[in-house]
Structure 1
């Protein structure tokens, strides 16, 4: 089954990759010890603006109803939930840096452009989503054309001192994605949001998830993240999408992620024997970590 914390469940080479990453970070880090404490000086690096290609699965499974209801009182379908999550993602990402840009693609049997020109205009980007709709069942999902287009766009982005990221939103519970892509070409970073049904006689979401993990590891220049949701709840899509706001150049390994935390588990309100505010004499409640 899936790891509850969203860990990638990587294969045997994961520990080797993690160790290699740690060694590289140690080389770049100078440690100065004095006064009983450690002080770290990190090598300065420019955080580049992102070109973000969002690819949405338009297979018939994207029309599956969720447990969450919309404003009209009817259950949301996955496609509606995905659109809302993308719109929120775009607004939040641009509030962090208005220089980020977005383009869109769809995935059926293979990938196709929905909006090829990258834009930092939120209204223009969101308008592209209005034409997004599901198709019939595709039977297979080949990511090769998506990776090929991303690689070309990544070269264009680099020429402008930017980086490219692909966010794939995948909705199929029994179709494992495939690709034909050389392992030594890591020109962009791949993130995945996987929305699926529960395991059953005709579904193999764990196998699909493992294939998506392999794809992330295969193509990603920086640390790529993958999240999954089989609960049918909108919040199980919105929360991971909020984590994907993180910039690839500033990420820790996903296995080291410990967010989001539940406030109920994180903080405990102390007994109402209120502490006195040392500054203004007001009565305050203390919170214990």
Structure 2
């Protein structure tokens, strides 16, 4: 199994992209509409924010889950005991955000959300009839007017050498949502678990857009699309001195959306957040 970037401009882009999602749970796009320059600027501006004391004024709200999450409350992946080596900020259009960063991050949120809806349409159009009949409504409609879609600005700080044994930047996990859109980070480290149990490096050429299936789409498609395990490994050698920034947009349906006979989006999300110890 190998992950290869699909040209967004190609006449067979939708078919090739969805086939990659089907086989690996991941798809990689090049020549897509998200500007490399915009992403680079966001990385720089938010790294400065994480390296400042300003972040302490935006500590997250437990009730709404927006704002800054320090490393002391970082997630513990399901099945693991060590916290991930990361801190992050949850941006929602309705949530708290530093004034100096809000316009830029909001414009990025909206443009990436628009592309995400297009990709959901690709997925639905390329789903076999026996799979698409599971969808209780069009996939792109599931996220319409949703206030749950989350942009997470992730900061993996430089490693100091005193980290807990076996702790890594992001332990092996699956995403909860429908799909995740992630521009290639400023540093490598993202890996996906192959069917044979081996780990594959996800192509991280700056400018690529990485998309992966989440548990909710796996559930909604009757497990046709796999929510594949992935992780972010620690760098080695001189690379340990470099921070890593990434910008995953997690596409969440409206809470009332029916995923399957067993779950609504709300009941599924709450079950997973309890497993993660977040709520």
Write 1 or 2 for the structure with the bigger share of strand: 1
Shorter-chain TM-score: which interval?
A: under 0.3
Q: Structure 1-normalised TM-score? A: 0.26
Query: Which one scores higher on RCO, CA 8 angstroms, separation ≥ 6?
Result: 2
State the structure with more CA Rg. Answer: 1
Q: Structure 2-normalised TM-score? A: 0.27
